[in-house]
Amino acid sequence: MDTEHRVILNVGGIRHETYTHVLKKIPATRLSRLTPNLANYDPVLNEYFFDRHPGVFSMILNYYRTGKLHYPTNVCGPLFEEELEFWGLDANQVEPCCWMTYTQHRDTQDTLAVIESLDLDGDPPTQEEIAKKFGWEDDYYTGNMSHWQRLKPRVWALFDEPWSSKYARVISFISVAFILASTCSFILKTDPSFQIPDIDVFYSLRVVDEGGFKNYHKTIGTDKPLTSPHPYFFYVDLICNIWFTIELLIRSLFCPSFHKFVRSPLTIIDVVSTGAFFFESVLHAILIQTGSLVTLDFLSNDLCAQLIRSLFCPSFHKFVRSPLTIIDVVSTGAFFFESVLHAILIQTGSLVTLDFLSMICVLRLFKLTQHFSGLKILIQTFKASAQELFLLVFFVILAIVIFAALVYYAERSQLNRENQFTSIPLGLWWSLVTISTVGFGDMVPKTYLGMLVGSLCALMGVLTIALPVPVIVSNFSNLYSHSQARAKLPKKRRRVLQA
């Protein structure tokens, strides 16, 4: 009879039986240390009572029996892990076939932590939480909160938590409207129908020998080779940027932690794009200011004209003192100054900088992140999928390099006058366009061998991109569906991490 070696474990009312030596298999756990001296030992029924989940316990006991830890699939991961913890077992010992189950709920926890950190609309925080956030725990508990300490969180919520109050929503709405207005202005001012010509004034000097007397002619003309956006756009930009500046000032004044605020990428974008606008405006104003001297040029000549005049004038002294000459000298100087400035600007690439500065404005769109939770989730997805994005780019680069080389040599292998693949770098562009199935058609293989390479490229492309994308998509839909699930719960239950 083997009954004497058996042990009865009453777990939550259900009696499990096993041999005593089975429980010794995993040492230093709750079950390996069972002795009749324990309070939960019932000598009448000869059993140990544990107030735990009976169903899950059969998986625990099975671990002792078989030495293999499998996760049950009828209860969720955290529940099983809590049981494992109670029984003193290590969740890491899970069998490889259950690795996915094991990591899945860890991923869920990560997802939930991310959502918690996204600061989506929820229950308004308590006074205590606010004090903690602003670092005034001491003042809060001693009860002597200053007037400023009461005002600061309210203003901050007004500008940073659109869901907190009706007024916050209005301010958020205004902010979004200004971002959109500034972006529309940015887009539309490049459209030819919204541009006005820049009139360029030019003048020339011709020396004419009229009957022995050397005379000179000044010609003033206009030209319109350049256009500039309609000035109204400047006013729209100005108003928008004034709002952004005000917003930025208020935010920097009322933020919980100035250190953290300054380092946030959104603040940096804000400062740079607003700064870029004002810098550009001032620079432009200086250019116009110096450019306004151009009007003086109507009365002037360029330096060589001066020299010619001074050469042919009867009296140099008189010539120098004549008011016309003075004006001439001044305006010519101004012209040279402007030319030199312009030259320096071009030389140092400042005009390119101007282009670059105006392009920065488009980053302002990322400020919408503060106002739309969908965008927050998108950015969080890209952060969480950094590894998969790297993989995607890596696969794509590998594939395009290989296909670019193949198509380059394939198109050269045959006499082919219309060959468009004149270098591998151009082939890179073609193979990327083919792999992504965009297929602009600006470059197309003309030989049968090139077509074969193109076919492989198109098919491989589908795979190269199709493979890492689902991982990224599942990261997004994980975040999105959890945030949707959270939004359906009553506000009080939305906190992930409880005390």
Query: Is residue 319 a contact residue for its own copies (CB under 8 A)?
Result: no
Instruction: Give the total of residues touching its own copies (CB under 8 A).
Output: 144
Single residue of 28, 39, 415, 499 touching its own copies by CB under 8 A = 39
Query: Is residue 37 a contact residue for its own copies (CB under 8 A)?
Result: no
For 26, 29, 88, 179, 499, the CA distances from 22, given in Å and listed in that order, are 8, 12, 16, 69, 38
CA angle 488, 494, 496 (to 5 degrees): 130
Report, in Å, the least distance between residue 457 CB and K ion: 13
Q: Phi and psi for 207 in degrees, rounded to 5? A: -95, 125
Q: Which residues make beta-bridge pairs with 196?
A: 228
Alpha helices (H) in 413-467, listed in sequence order: 424-435, 448-466
Query: Is residue 130 a contact residue for its own copies (CB under 8 A)?
Result: no
- Segment contacting K ion by CB under 5 A, of 121-129, 259-267, 317-325, 439-447: 439-447
Report, in Å, the least distance between residue 270 CB and its own copies: 16
Query: Is residue 383 a contact residue for its own copies (CB under 8 A)?
Result: no
Query: Is residue 476 a contact residue for its own copies (CB under 8 A)?
Result: yes
Report, in Å, the least distance between residue 5 CB and its own copies: 10
Q: Which is nearer to its own copies, 293 or 391 (CB)?
A: 391
How many other β-carbons are positioned within 10 Å of the β-carbon of residue 157? 19
Nearest to 111 by CA among 384, 487, 494: 384
Encoded one letter per residue, x for contact with its own copies by CB under 8 A and - for no contact, window 434-473 reads x-xxxxxxx-x---x--x--xx--xx-xxx-xxxxxxxxx
Measure the CA–CA gap between 244 and 238, rounded to whole angstroms. Answer: 10
Q: Which is nearer to its own copies, 16 or 132 (CB)?
A: 16
How many other β-carbons are positioned within 10 Å of the β-carbon of residue 289? 10
Q: Which does 23 bind (CB under 5 to 8 A by kind): K ion, its own copies, none?
A: none
Query: Is residue 354 a contact residue for its own copies (CB under 8 A)?
Result: no
Q: Which is nearer to K ion, 256 or 439 (CB)?
A: 439
Single residue of 55, 125, 291, 439 touching K ion by CB under 5 A = 439
In the numeric block, the tokens 């939305």 are attached to: 494
User: For residues 62-101, which are near its own copies according to CB under 8 A?
Assistant: 62, 65-66, 68, 70-79, 82, 92-101
Report, in Å, the least distance between residue 252 CB and its own copies: 26
Q: Which is nearer to K ion, 330 or 426 (CB)?
A: 426
Query: Is residue 112 a contact residue for its own copies (CB under 8 A)?
Result: yes
Q: Which does 374 bind (CB under 5 to 8 A by kind): K ion, its own copies, none?
A: its own copies
Query: Is residue 489 a contact residue for its own copies (CB under 8 A)?
Result: yes
Q: Which does 288 bind (CB under 5 to 8 A by kind): its own copies, K ion, none?
A: none
Q: Dump the DSSP string for 165-223.
A: -HHHHHHHHHHHHHHHHHHHHHHHTTSGGGEEEEEEEEEEEEEEEETTEEEEEEEEEEE
The dihedral of CA 339, 343, 349, 352: what is its sign? positive
Give the helix, strand, coil percentages of the chain, each rounded to 5. 65, 10, 25
Q: Is 6 helix (H, G, I), strand (E, B) or coil?
A: strand
Kind and range of the H or E element at 246?
A: helix 232-254
Q: Which is nearer to its own copies, 97 or 201 (CB)?
A: 97
Residues at the site binding K ion, with contacts judged by CB under 5 A: 439
